[in-house]
Structure 1
Amino acid sequence: MQENGPVTSASLRPRTPTSSLPPRLIATDLDGTLLRDDKSVSPRTVAALAAAEEAGIEVFFVTGRPARWMDVVSDHLHGHGLAICGNGAAVVDLHGGPGDHRFVKIRELPGPRALDVVRLLRAAAPGTSFAVERTGGLHHEPTYPPLHLDPAESVAPAEKLLAEPAALSDEGDPVQPVLKLLAYHPELSPDAFLAVARDAVGEHASITRSSPSALLEVSGFGVSKASTLAQCCADRGILSGEVVAFGDMPNDVEMLTWAGTSYAMGNAHPDVIAAASGRTVANNEDGVAIVIERILANR
């Protein structure tokens, strides 16, 4: 179940542009991309996803969300049902429905590395508070703000939350491995906090962000939406040039760079616009659906 050996962002770039290949897989972010601001999926988008799959193009949801927050798309699976969650930390089969999602692949953040990150960020950005995302739920510090109405499994200092060893399954795998660490700062701007954190942490872990607040998401080194998507595509014999990707926030940048064709949403962060090969309209204007319809019309 565990995935060994990080895939670095340097290994993700296609050697030559291959975007002229017919698309075989659509990889789309959710919040700010596929979902409207009210977290709904428009009827036009539902129809476009179904039409893509009917045409033989696989669809992957690729999100920073944990598996337990995937109910928002559970009614729109069509033929697919695999999602990359936690910014690449897990591949999840959504077919079981709410509460029954099955983890297919896990790329955990080792506890000792997570403790190193906590130590380094406390020194580099005093006032940082932490939460620990495990496969079974969220655990956070007393000072971590309730950014989402997500009841914590436990509340304690991060050092204690991470020092507690996870129980082992019959196969010897951790039952609840750490998927990612969340770090929040009450005063720094989001991009400034990201820059400080990346400089302080270096190669101890991969750090990104998708929230409009100063909330960072910390994964195992080399773990990202892009690297896990690359592995899933390799399993299917799909080339990067056969992938069309959509995103709007910094945690999408590597995926958009890796995919042969990629689109920044009209509401995207400047770094995303710079990374993508194309641009579509905003999430509230069905930007993903418009591109899918164009792809199908040109087949």
Structure 2
Amino acid sequence: MEKVDDAVYIKVPTTEEGLAAMQVLKRQGVGVTAAAVYTKVQGFMAITVGADFIAPYVNRIANLDVDPHELISAIADMISRTGASTKIVAASCKNIAQVNDALLAGAHTVTVRPDLLHEAFGAASATSPTTGRLSTATRASQPCETTTRAKSDGPPQAGPSLRAPVWPLGTTTGTEPDAMISMIALDLDGTLLGQDHQTVPASAIEVLAELAGEGVHVVPATGRTRGLMAHELGQLPFVNYLVSSNGASVFDRSASRPVVPAETLPVPRARQIYAVLEPYDVSFELYQDGAAYLERSRLQVFRRSFAPGFAAHLLAHTHLVDSMLPLLARGGTEKFNISGVAPDERRAIVARLLEIPELALTSSLSGNVEVMAAGVSKARALRRLAGVLGVQASDIVAFGDSDNDISMLKWAGRSYAMANGTQEARSAARHVAPSNADDGIAVTLRDLLANHRPDLDRPATLNPYCSPLSRAGSDGG
């Protein structure tokens, strides 16, 4: 065993004898791959003994009339819940579809034959590189000047200064670069939704549906958990992917499953956070597995923390419990959402939370603190989703208004902070859009379409927010 290289991981069958052998090998510092995993119990036991890799045999499992990707997803969830460092190797993949599905289900890597790799690259080269990407490169523009196209096929004519131009990335004048739009990431409260925190303006629905019809991914990226946006998503039937709980969860609505494993708080960390919050007379919700939970004893504080209509709307989709402790014990906590906090109390709570290692803290509303696992952010979640979909950051347009949006506003190739947003959010974005009360999403996207697709006959819109903000750096999230 002393001669085994650190880069070698010995394959051991995941049987009773094999699990005992894995424990012996791990005690000696030898890397281990738990092989021949066909069930969730085998996966759990392999995680428990500290296997470095777990290798479900995808094609063999499928031949047993069992869904291998459901198994991979379940094992990935176990790894996330326990905070284990184990990785999943999807083995015995016999075609590209199995490879793709395994990676989408949560596998960290795959084993494939060389001819499958050649097949994969061959399929990629046969696909148009602009599929699902809306080009925005058509013409030169000057500040606060537009062009309009007559219904004939003649050249564009100078028109009145009604549409504010969508500025080239990183510049203030000149020619629009060959930018593409493959994804639009949208915060909800204070950004896409109206003042009631429930309604998507009809004009925004119209333009987003049009873009989705052209293959652009429309992705809500919100601090809410999935269960708190059922009404809002009902207005957006063309949305397939969701980023929720500030990036802890990335979910595929059409498949009803995570796109990538959720990034949740380990059980000990969640208990520490609860111990900090429990003595304070504040409202805090627990977001777990897409649902929101609130202790009954904090119901009155919760109601005082929001406008009456918004509070009633949230409570209609929130589960009331006597205690969160049983929920914390089962794991899978995406976020603590703390509300109704006075400034002095907020400073004290934040100071105590910062003493707990490996946490991420942010805020989306006044008197609010949001706590997730270290590294969780909207930018990180969008980057993970973009990697699955094959989308580049430069092809993403992001809209937000608050501090929990800053990471994605810095990361996306084109970003807009709402005029009603915080100063920090506006400093992080490249541009400012009209406020959510002024239909900022629809106005900005219509400008984008009108200024960069002059063949479309659209009514002019007035957008006074012509000046882009300076780039405040980048953040990988």
Both structures adopt the same fold (TM-score exceeding 0.5): yes
CA shift at 1:116, angstroms? 2.8
Structure number, greater radius of gyration: 2
Are residue 277 (structure 1) and residue 444 (structure 2) matched?
no
> Counterpart in 2 of 1:26?
184
Please say if residues 334 and 372 of structure 2, whose CA atoms lie closer than 8 Å, have aligned partners that are also in contact: yes
Say whether 1:207 aligns with 2:361: yes
The answer on whether the counterparts of 1:209 and 1:216 sit within 8 Å (CA) in structure 2 is yes
Q: TM-score, normalised by structure 1?
A: 0.78
| Aligned: 1:229 with 2:382 | yes
- The answer (yes or no) to whether the contact 2:401–2:418 under 8 Å persists in 1 is yes
Instruction: Indicate if the aligned counterparts of 2:360 and 2:375 stay in contact, CA closer than 8 A.
Output: yes
Show the 5 A alignment for 1:119-134: 119=275, 130-134=284-288
1:1-299 equivalences under 5 Å are 1=73, 2=77, 20=177, 21-38=179-196, 39-70=198-229, 71-78=231-238, 80-95=239-254, 102-105=257-260, 106-119=262-275, 130-135=284-289, 136-140=291-295, 142-143=297-298, 145-147=301-303, 148-149=311-312, 150=315, 151-156=318-323, 160-161=325-326, 163-166=328-331, 177-184=332-339, 186-188=341-343, 192=347, 196=351, 199-201=354-356, 203-212=357-366, 214-297=367-450, 298-299=452-453
d(CA) in 2 for partners of 1:276 and 1:68? Answer: 29
Task: Report SS of the residue matched to 1:146.
Answer: helix
TM-score (norm 2): 0.51
Deviation, 1:204, is 2.1
Unaligned runs of 5+ in 2: 1-72, 84-168, 304-310, 454-477
The letter for the 1-side match of 2:286 is V
Q: 1:181 to 1:240 in 2, by over 3 A?
A: same
**Cα distance change of structure 1 residues 122 and 262 upon mapping to structure 2, 3 Å threshold:** same
Change (3 A) 1:238 1:198: farther
- What's the % identity of the aligned pairs? 28
Identify if the C-alpha distance between structure 1 residues 139 and 103 changes in structure 2 by more than 3 Å, giving closer, same or farther: farther
CA distance in 2, matches of 1:33, 1:284: 9
How far, CA to CA, are the matches of 1:180 and 1:224 in structure 2? 11
| One-letter code aligned to 2:193 | L
SS at match of 2:369: strand
Q: Which residue of 1 aligns with 2:151?
A: none
RMSD: 3.0
Report how many residues are paired: 268
CA contact (8 A) 2:222 2:246 kept: yes
* Deviation of 1:107 (Å): 1.8
**Cα separation, 2, equivalents of 1:67 and 1:196:** 29
> 3-state SS of the aligned residue for 2:330?
coil
Higher relative contact order (CA 8 A, sep 6+): 1
Partner of 2:122: none
Q: 5+ unaligned residues in a row in structure 1: which ranges?
A: 6-15, 167-176
Q: Is the 8 A contact 2:205 2:236 kept in 1?
A: yes
Using a 3 Å threshold, how does the CA distance of structure 1 residues 121 and 17 change in structure 2: closer, same or farther? farther
Distance in 2 of aligned mates of 1:236 and 1:215: 33
Q: Deviations over 1:103-159 (max 9, x none)?
A: 444221211112233445679xx6555432212441437246224342434122x5x
TM-superposed CA distance for 1:262, in Å, is 0.6
Matches of 2:292 and 2:302, distance apart in 1: 14
Greater mean deviation of Cα atoms: 233-242 or 108-117:
108-117
Distance 1:205 1:284, change over 3 A: same
Distance 2:284 2:206 in 1: 40
Moved more, 103-112 or 47-56: 103-112
